[in-house]
Structure formats: structure tokens, C-alpha cells
Copies of this chain bind each other. A is one copy, B any other.
Amino acid sequence: MRKNASKELYKQVYDYVVHQIKRGEWKEYDKLPSVRALAKEFKVHRLTVLKAFQLLKEDEILYVKDKSGYFVGPEKVLKENEGRTISTYVENNHLSTIHQVPAAYQFSKALIDPGLLPNKYFSEYVKKVFDLYPKVLGTYSNVQGDDELRYAFSSYLLKTYRFYASQDELLITSGAQQAIDLLAKTLIQPKDTILVERPTYSTAIDIFRQYGANIVGVEIGPSGYDLSELEHYMKNYRPRLFYVNPTFHNPTGYTVPVVQRKRLVELAEEYKCVIIEDDPFRDIYFKGKPPLPIYTFDTEGYVIYIRGFSKYVSPGLRIAVVVCKHPLMKNLIIAKSLADNGTSLLDQKIFLLYFFSERMQIHLSKLRTALYLRKEIMERELNDTSWKWTSPGGGFTLWVEMPEGLAVDQLLKSSIKHSLTFVPGIICDTQGRMGSWIRLSYSYANEEQIQKGIRLLIQTSNDLKYFD
């Protein structure tokens, strides 16, 4: 499974060579730097460069003169190659690819079953929006977000976490994912080192990779991080940022304890490393409320807080809020203005009326119960196996370690044939090494589907074993 990671590396070298030739840095018949030199520059193994060179040779972009090295081929070859496709600089979105598989037993999406959402009430709130704001569709939103909504959030944060953030320190984005993207764009330049948890939200990896980050993984376990490992990374790599999801963590469900939260803020300050705290699952707790967000312990502005609501208010409304102290906020607003010039005002107003309503609180309380039951059913079905997991105190997913020797990629293939999907752990790990783990989401399928689906999954894995 390491193949994938190394595939990306040689592809990077391949693209780099093509890019240099196109830019005219290396002209036709020029000699290329040695494999050794490029390997050093890219900090990769020499075999990786060699692989890229061989492919470039096959594509007739480079040619070899015996023993004297690799040379740039005639210009026309590159042009012909270009003609075939328009080359691009976009990486993959791995999770999105899996979600596109239609499945009767949907355990890959960490989303709420649409049946659990209060759809029938939404139309009332929308009508109310038009009564209150008849010109809502006639104007752009303020780029930073609707004033009224930011004011309401500011009060909400104060009331809920006893933490004051002014309206000016809040930015409304079109979902948490846009927030991650804008922050990445604002903070990361190619080859900057950043930290993420291992495992982590795989789309975040794809986003950071898109901006050329050098990503280092920090292990997260049931009781949080290894703080001395973390400090070692901060000291030696001087990372720009550490992207964390410390509360009912996706995919593991783990929660980082308070004492570590406080220490994390100290480390961030000491090593000037921005903490990006992504917190979409906070309100989905099963036993008791989780510890306060990390950003509530921050006084120096090193923690940026992302609170998305698609997960339980409505996936249809793309609303998240970013809490960030000046002066970074100024740059975030510019990035937002260049990205889409502001989130849909209608969506913001619907959210405003709904989120702070009594009905929303009732919905949330019912939702917690429903998800708790689904989790219990999933765990009960899994109890008969030798698979291992830590029962989460909240969130949407189980992070399950499969028995040694079970080929998770084979299991996924067979499962898809049986109309069942899950997320293979490997795409949640920057190092591509969590190959024996899977993420099972209990939030999307209903109780019956969970029961039948998990039995089917167990059966599929047993068949696989016999088949070997």
C-alpha cells in the first residue's frame, strides 16, 4: 500500500521536469541534473527519480545518451504530448471518490441520515426569512459574513464557552471545508512543513497537499498525543500549523483531555505554530459534554477555531464559522473575497433563524439519542468479531482495527460489490501506513441497515479469509 504514496512522489518529479522544460529552464538537448542531485533536492530516494526519468523517457520527453545521462528531447515532443491533455496542478480528493459509490449500506459518509433532519420545519424558517428580509436575494452578503449572524455567534460563544470573540474576529464560510481551504491558502507555501494528526480527516490531507505542504503526522490515541513527540516535531520542523480535531476526533472518536489542550497552547506559542482546531462533532456527545475547545485556552492568538454545522444542522446549508484573532483575519477575509466573495446570504439568514431557535435544541437532543442507539447497534454486531476499537464518547464513527493479515483493500473491493462502503484507514494517514484500520460511520445508515450491513461486512471479511 506504500505504492500509492511513492506513486505521488515520482509523479511530482515527473511534473517538475515537464514544468521546467515548459518554462524554458531546460531547453531541448540540454543535459538534466543527475538523478542523485534531483533526489537530494526533492528529498526522495534515487529510485523515485529514476522511475520518473524512465517514464519521461517512455513518453519521449527525455532521452538517454549512453552513460552520460538524461537529456531533454526535441521540443515538438512535449508539445505533442501537451496536445493530448491540458495538464493541471490539482491533486485527488480520495474521500469524495469513495462517497460517489452508490451503496445500500453506506458506512463511508460521516453525514447524518437525511431522515433524522427536521426537513418539514425548514420551509417555515425560509418563509420567515422572506418576511423579515424581503430583499435577501437582492444583495451580496458582507464578505466576512452577515452582521446579524456574526453578532449571534459572538453571543453564543460567550454564553456557551464563556469566551469572548468579537464580531470582527468571526468569519462565515461556506462549510468547514472551505474554512480549511482558505486557511491553507493563507498560511501554506510549497514545502512549508505542517502537522496533522495520524489518522486525520482525509480531505484535509488532500487540501494541504494541494498547497504543496510537507505534511508530518502526529499520532493521536485514546488519551491524546505523545506530547514529547509533538514538541520534538515543533522544535525540529518549525511547522507553520498543526491541524487538529481534538473532540470526538474524525475518524477515531478520541477526545484530547483538558491538560493536553492547555499544554498544546503553550507549545503553539513557544514554537510560533498556529493551531487550527476543527470542531464539528462537539454537540454530538453520548455521555457528557466534552472539554472546552482548545481556543478557549488561547490568549495570544495562536489558535484558530473552525466550527462547522453541516454535520448536524443541515448539509444543504453550507455554513461554518471561523474564530480568529487579528491580524490573520484580515488576510482570511481577502482570501474569502477572492474565493467566492461571500457565502450565500439566504443560507446565512435561514441558519440564523433556525440555529438559535428552541426547535434546534429539541432536534439536537433527539439526534444525540438516535445516534447513540445506532452506535450501540453497530458495536453490538461487531462484538462477535476479533476486531478492535475504542468506544467513542460522541461523534459519527468507529475506528476499527482489523485482524492481522486481513487485506483491507480486498475487503473494500468485495464490500462495494455487495453495495457496502466504508473508509479504508490508509487514506486517513499521511504516511499511508494505517492499512489495517477502517472507519465505519453509524450516522448515515438507519438501524436496520446497520444491523444487516455489519453482518454482511463480517461475512464478507470471513469469505475473504477462506478465499486466501
Are the CB atoms of B130 and A186 closer together than 8 Å? no
- Contact, CB under 8 Å: B174 / A340: yes
Q: Per-residue CB proximity of A80-103 to B under 8 Å, as 1/0?
A: 001101101111110010000000
Assess whether A177 is in contact with B86, with CB atoms less than 8 Å apart: no
Question: Which of these, B123, B178, B302, contacts A130 with CB under 8 Å?
Answer: B123
Residue A36 interfacial (CB < 8 Å): no
Contacts of A188 in B (CB 8 A): 89
Chain A, range 83-127, C-beta contacts under 8 Å to B? 83, 85-86, 88-93, 96, 111, 114, 117, 119-120, 122-123, 126-127
B interface footprint on A182-212 (CB within 8 Å = 1, 0 otherwise): 0001111111100000000001001100100
The listed residue (B143, B190, B332) touching A96 by CB distance below 8 A is B143
> Is A136 interfacial (CB-CB < 8 Å)?
yes
Residues of B near A347 (CB, < 8 A) are 344, 346-347
Interface with B: A256-264, A310-318, A425-433, which one? A310-318
On whether the beta carbons of A19 and B189 are closer than 8 Å, the reply is yes
Which B residues touch A341, using CB under 8 A? 96, 175, 177, 318
What 0/1 pattern do residues 1 to 36 of A give for CB contact below 8 A with B? 000000000000000000100111000000000000
A301 cross-chain contacts in B, Cβ below 8 A: 86
In the assembled complex, the Cα of A314 lies from the Cα of B337 at a distance in Å of 18
Kindly report which residue of chain B lies nearest to residue A90, judged by CB atoms.
B331
Question: Do A316 and B139 form a contact, CB below 8 Å, given A174-B340, A181-B339?
Answer: yes
Q: State whether B317 touches A187 (Cβ < 8 A).
A: no
Chain B residues with CB below 8 A from A328, complex form: 85-86, 88
Q: How far is the CA of A328 from the CA of B86 in the complex (A)?
A: 7
Is A274 an interface position by the 8 A CB rule? yes
Chain B residues within 8 Å of A137, by CB:
117, 119, 122, 314-317, 350
Interface residues on A, range: 35 or more
A96 contacts B337, C-beta separation under 8 Å: yes
- Known contacts A175-B341, A331-B88, A346-B347: A138-B123 contact under CB 8 Å: no
Alpha-carbon distance between A318 and B178 when the two chains are bound, in angstroms: 15
Give min CB distance, A189 to chain B, whole Å. Answer: 5
Q: Which residues of B contact A119 (CB under 8 A)?
A: 134-135, 137-138
Is A434 in the interface zone, CB < 8 Å from B? no
Identify which of B90, B177, B185, B346 contacts A186 (C-beta below 8 A): B90
Among residues of B, the one whose C-beta sits closest to the C-beta of A100 is: B143
Whether, in the assembled complex, A272 has its beta carbon less than 8 Å from a beta carbon of chain B, the answer is: yes
Is the C-beta of A465 less than 8 angstroms from some C-beta in chain B?
no
User: Considering only CB atoms, which chain B residue lies closest to A347 in the complex?
Assistant: B344
Nearest B residue to A208, CB-CB:
B338
* A405 at interface, CB cutoff 8 A: no
Taken together as a complex, chains A and B put the C-alpha atoms of A91 and B186 apart, in Å, by 9
Residues of B within 8 A of A158 (CB): none
A267 at interface by CB-CB < 8 Å:
no
**Measured CA separation A238–B272 after assembly (Å):** 41
- CA gap between A188 and B90 in the complex, in Å: 10
Residue pair B346, A191 in contact (C-beta under 8 Å): no
Q: How far is the CB of A98 from chain B (nearest CB, A)?
A: 12
Within 8 Å CB of A141, what residues of B?
316
A340 engages B318 (CB within 8 Å): yes
> Which residues from chain B contact A127 at a C-beta distance below 8 Å?
123, 126-127
Known: A85-B327, A114-B139, A316-B344. A126 touches B122 (CB 8 A): no
Contact assessment for B338 and A181 in the assembled complex, using a CB-CB cutoff below 8 Å: yes
Structural contact, B123 and A134, CB atoms closer than 8 A = yes
Per-residue CB proximity of A314-355 to B under 8 Å, as 1/0? Answer: 111110000000011001101101111111111100100000
Q: A81: shortest Cβ distance to chain B, in Å? A: 10
Bound form: Cα–Cα A203–B340 in Å: 11
What residues of chain B lie closer than 8 Å to A346, measured between beta carbons? 126, 316-317, 344, 346-347, 350
Is A79 among interface residues, defined by CB-CB distance under 8 A? yes
**Contact partner, A340, options B24, B136, B181, B314, Cβ 8 Å:** B181
Q: Is A164 an interface residue (CB 8 A)?
A: no
C-alpha spacing A205/B60, complex, angstroms? 36
Q: Are the CB atoms of A174 and B174 closer together than 8 Å?
A: yes
A114-B138, A274-B86 are contacts. A126–B120 as well, Cβ < 8 Å? no
Contacts A90-B331, A174-B340, A318-B340 known; 5 new A-B pairs at CB < 8 A: A86-B302, A96-B334, A119-B137, A123-B127, A175-B341
